[in-house]
């Protein structure tokens, strides 16, 4: 994607150094974060310098390449990288891909191939999904399932970018996405780079605009999709799906094959990461809750298949009850 006229991916490799767009600095500052070894790369995933399921996967694959170049056991590297974030399936998919395809000499090529494949998957998601976006549509999205959360294009945003390239006019409602504000900070920044008209709204305002008839379509991403079509995504997604169903608004999930986990029969089998409660207590280093109050901070929730209109994949738009085996 273009940033100030220059093309960037979210993650890439220079020599043995993994380079990442530092998402903790956006939108105030655009900077590149360098990881000199696989442990640094694992820390970058853990601290959310990089986040978003496909981006985490590609970054972990580059981390495995770093370990291989340094002569570190792949099992040791897997233990370090594979435990950084428990919910996103792409993390395990990428590590599995690297171990399967590494032949002792081709570490960088394997990682680069995985990243390129991820980009192509997202591009195809955009090609299929853009058909859902009509002129003057108003689309709601949640969290950041954009190119920052992938290697390029994004998942939920890929249809937006392709539709924009084809000259379509539309408007995007951007949920702020508490507590880390990925929508307000990242999705809005992305859409500004692409020249897409949008407005950031408080998470709790989505139902208000749906009821007023000002939302034609919801598109979100996913961190893991169970075999029955249940979807794990950023906390708050479930509520948006229920509101969409109540207000007869189509609700789509955009995700590549790497996000499907057929070992998880239903959403109940997906582990939900619970993060530090201080993410709730503090906004921009300012505490907003009483000093002795407690908080809970689940990072994701599960949206049951019955609330999902369709899954936008690189192979087309699936009904959520269709089996995804052909993708894998």
Question: Which residues are the active-site residues?
Answer: 223
Pairwise CA distance, residues 210 & 216, whole Å: 8
How far is the CA of 73 from the CAs of 79, 99, 104, 233, in angstroms? 10, 11, 11, 32
Pairwise CA distance, residues 38 & 56, whole Å: 13
Instruction: Please report which helix (H) or strand (E) contains residue 254, including its range.
Output: strand 251-254
Q: At what angle do helices 53-69 and 107-129 cross, to 10 degrees?
A: 170
Assess contact for 17 and 34: CB atoms under 8 A. Answer: yes
Assess contact for 311 and 317: CB atoms under 8 A. Answer: yes
CA dihedral 151, 156, 160, 161 (to 10 degrees): 0
Cβ-Cβ contacts under 8 Å for 28 (sequence gap 6 or more): none
Pairwise CA distance, residues 272 & 290, whole Å: 27
Give the E-state strand segments of 153-216 in sequence order: 170-175, 198-201
Nearest Cα residue to 270 out of 42, 53, 45, 43: 53
Assess contact for 111 and 98: CB atoms under 8 A. Answer: yes
Assess contact for 47 and 72: CB atoms under 8 A. Answer: no
How far is the CA of 129 from the CAs of 40, 314, 317, in angstroms? 36, 9, 8
In the 8-state DSSP scheme, what is residue 233? Answer: E
Nearest Cα residue to 112 out of 67, 64, 154, 46: 64
């Amino acid at each position: 994607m273009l940033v100030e006229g220059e093309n960037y991916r979210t993650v890439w490799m220079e020599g043995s150094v993994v380079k990442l767009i530092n998402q903790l600095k956006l939108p105030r500052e655009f900077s590149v974060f360098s990881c000199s070894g696989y442990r640094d790369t694992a820390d970058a995933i853990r601290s959310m310098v990089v986040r978003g399921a496909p981006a985490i996967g590609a970054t972990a694959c580059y981390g495995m390449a770093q370990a291989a170049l340094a002569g570190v056991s792949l099992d040791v590297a897997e233990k370090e990288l594979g435990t950084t974030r428990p919910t996103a399936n792409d993390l395990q998919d990428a590590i599995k891909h690297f171990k399967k395809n590494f032949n002792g000499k081709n570490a960088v090529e394997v990682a680069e191939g995985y990243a390129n494949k991820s980009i192509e998957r997202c591009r195809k998601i955009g090609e299929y999904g853009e058909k859902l976006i009509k002129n003057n549509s108003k689309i709601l999205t949640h969290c950041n399932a954009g190119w920052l959360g992938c290697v390029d294009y994004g998942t939920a945003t890929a249809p937006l970018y392709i539709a924009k390239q084809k000259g379509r006019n539309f408007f995007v409602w951007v949920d702020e996405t508490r507590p880390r504000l990925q929508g307000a900070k990242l999705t809005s920044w992305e859409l500004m780079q692409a020249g897409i008209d949008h407005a950031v709204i408080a998470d709790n305002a989505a139902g208000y605009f749906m009821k007023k008839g000002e939302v034609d379509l919801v598109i979100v991403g996913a961190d893991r999709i169970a075999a029955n079509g249940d979807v794990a995504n950023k906390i708050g997604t479930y509520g948006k799906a229920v509101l969409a169903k109540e207000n007869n608004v189509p609700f789509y999930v955009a995700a590549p094959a790497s996000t499907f986990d057929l070992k998880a029969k239903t959403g109940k089998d997906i582990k939900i990461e619970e993060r530090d409660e201080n993410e709730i207590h503090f906004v921009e280093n300012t505490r907003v809750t009483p000093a002795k109050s407690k908080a809970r901070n689940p990072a994701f929730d599960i949206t049951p298949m019955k609330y999902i209109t369709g899954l936008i994949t690189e192979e087309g738009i699936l009904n959520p009850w269709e089996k995804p085996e052909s993708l894998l």
